[in-house]
A and B are shown apart, each in its own frame.
Chain A
Amino acid sequence: MRPLPFYFALTTRGRAVPHRTFFAFILPSIVAMLLFIALPIVSVIVQSFYIEHQQVLVEVENCQPFGGCTKTVRVDAAATAEIKASDPLGRFNGLGTYLNRSHLAVDEIGVIFASNTGLGDIVARIYNLPFYKALAFTLAFCAIVTPLAMLLGFAIALAVDALPRLTKGPVIFFSLLPMIITPLIGSLILYWMINPQGILGATLQQIFHDPNLSLRGSPALTWLTLLFYGVWSNAPFSFVVFYAGLQTVPGDTLESAMIDGASRWERIRYVIIPHLAPLATFVALVQVMDNFRVFEPIVGFSAEANATSLSWLVYNDLSGDSQLFGSAGATSVLTIIGIIILLTPVLLRTWREFNQKVV
């Protein structure tokens, strides 16, 4: 049996929607996105090219409830405000923030390549730079969790679809639980379950006969735990989309395939998978993007020592006592660029498909 092309490509190429009708339909969406996403993005990008003015510091006497009075430095607010008033954005720094040690660390990498004791040294020293440490985990998480979660979701969708109708409702509900419990609490409870006195941690110690086994102690086990959590919490999304997609598989195509003598596996391979392909593209896009912004599990599992991500760097810049908006902006822009690079293959495919349809 020959593979079936996407059936929407088989439909007649009808009239394209006129421009005016098109924009009438889509205008509200566009306005909302321009106002609340595009504008802030532009402002973040602009901000990331600037750094603060030189602060005017003065030494003053400072008295607190403890320890009496001490000489300490403070910002001369009036003088600094004067400088700010003349140029509210700050000092133009070009790509300086992007290239500094907290981001791409161009100078540091140059030094590392200029003087090193071998490949291992290079890797270790680059990994010591915060951006690359975060990037390593982010990429690993994205590359491992996305396909595994999609496969698992697809398998669950096929299996649930084969269940008797009565059991489907509760099974779907329980399958969605990993996704619908707020990660804030979900990871807190899991964190407690995997601690050595918790039910999972203690059971694992028994299984491996190792009373010192701790899922949170070593970098490797921490990564493994986070990846497992990632697959677990992402699979329900793929499952729901694929399950909904399965409901629209044309029954007569399947039946004719059966009459042709296609095996169960062939029916999945040549009818169901092509039918779900557009949905799979969509799921892959969304999952790559979400996994590239992985953040909650790192905080929830207290894994900062062994795993950080780009979103965590942004959070760290913004949540400290002194907020670094320029630095957070630069990391955010780098995140977007990273996502665009990762999505390019999928986008190129979509572009080709799209061109096939274009009249």
Chain B
Amino acid sequence: MSSSVAAKRPLSLNLIIGGFIVLWLILAAFPFIWTVWGSFKVQADFFSRQSWWNAIFGPYTVQQTGAPFTGDGYYGAWVTRDFWRAVGNTAIVTVSVTVISLTLGTLGGYALARSGQRYAFWILIIALVFRAMPHITLVSGYLLPFFQLNIWGVLPTSIIVLVAINQPFTLWMLHSFFLSIPKDLDESAMVDGCSRFEAFRRVIIPVMWPGVVTTGLFSFLLAYNDFATTSMLLSADNQTMVPKISSFLGSVQEAGNVMYAVAAVVSATVPLFILVLFFQRQIVSGLTAGAVKG
């Protein structure tokens, strides 16, 4: 919406909007800020069963480390348990999944949005049904064939599986975005003698970025946060961050080290912060792109 609209907003409305945003930000961000703070404490303080004030003042942190804040969780995760290796694997998996998903998805989503044939609708519906399958059932079915083909445990396998699992979502989302780009744009290009693919490349690609970046964000998050697939399909050396964090937590009979997990989660959020700032700029720059169709 244009800024001229905002300028005419009455003060009371601005106050309501401001109050609502502040309230939402507290709700949304408080657990995370609490976690960042707590990641510099020891487990007995952050997960205290005595009083939550321990997480603020850290009596056990002082007792065990001599200071009110400690980097032990970070040291444990990054140095003792080689969290950096998982970070590297995650970088490879998420970037590959995002790029491949978007490449396949933009082509497919564009075709679906422009097809006008009934089968396009049915492809969308079937993709939706595919997406309804609980992932854990899918993954347990992969194990035997992957072992037989000797492709289990390596990153490319997980990347392809994540792309495939993500494809119905990507297709649907991009299809919706392409629907909102007027047909006149590419069709007038085709009248001027472009092929369908040229029209796509010259006319559609320049204006599709808000939709693609938004879809890309979700592809990225899916790969970044995936647990069901990566925990079952990757060997320990190739593990990504989330299964690794889960392994810090221990199991039924064995104590884990929860603070390693907390520190690792906080560390894992830093790249996301950068990503979202970048993403936000893209969305705002999409303002001008959107104006084209005006």
Contact = CB atoms under 8 A, between A and B. Distances in A.
Contacts of A38: 130
B84 interface: no
A193 interface: yes
B279 to A, nearest CB: 8
B45 to A, nearest CB: 12
B283 A244 contact: yes
Contacts of A176: 272, 276
B179 A278 contact: yes
Interface centre among A14, A254, A281 (most CB of B within 10 A): A14
Interface of chain A: mostly helix, strand, loop or mixed: helix
B58 interface: no
B21 A335 contact: no
Interface in A226-254: 232, 236-237, 240-241, 243-252, 254
Interface string A185-219: 11011101101011100100000000000000000
Contacts of B273: 173
A85 to B, nearest CB: 16
B134 A314 contact: yes
B151 interface: no
Interface in A297-334: 310-311, 314-315, 318, 323, 325, 328-329, 332
A177 interface: yes
A29 to B, nearest CB: 4
A282 interface: yes
A254 B172 contact: no
A182 B34 contact: no
A319 to B, nearest CB: 9
A289 B131 contact: yes
A224 to B, nearest CB: 16
- What interface size band does chain B fall in? 35 or more
A129 to B, nearest CB: 20
Contacts of B99: none
Contacts of A247: 210, 283-284, 286-287, 290
B116 A285 contact: no
B286 A248 contact: yes
Contacts, number: 306
A165 interface: yes
Contact of A254 (B1, B21, B138, B187): B1
B50 interface: yes
B17 A25 contact: no
Question: Top 10 A-B pairs ranked by shortest CB distance?
Answer: A36-B164, A25-B111, A29-B108, A16-B116, A248-B290, A339-B132, A199-B52, A26-B108, A32-B164, A40-B141
Interface of A: 7-8, 11-19, 21-23, 25-26, 28-30, 32-33, 35-38, 40-41, 43-44, 155-156, 159-163, 165, 168-169, 171-186, 188-190, 192-193, 195, 197-199, 202, 232, 236-237, 240-241, 243-252, 254-255, 258, 264, 278-279, 281-282, 285-286, 289, 292-293, 295, 310-311, 314-315, 318, 323, 325, 328-329, 332, 335-336, 339-340, 343, 347, 350-351, 354, 357-359
Interface of B: 1-2, 4-6, 9, 13-14, 17, 20-21, 24-25, 27-29, 31-32, 34-35, 38, 46-52, 55, 104-105, 107-108, 110-112, 114-118, 120-121, 123-125, 127-134, 136-138, 140-142, 160-161, 163-165, 167-169, 171-173, 176, 179-180, 182-184, 187, 190, 196-197, 210-211, 214, 217-218, 221, 224-225, 227, 242, 245-246, 249, 258, 261-262, 265, 268-269, 272-273, 276-277, 279-281, 283-284, 286-287, 290-291, 293-294
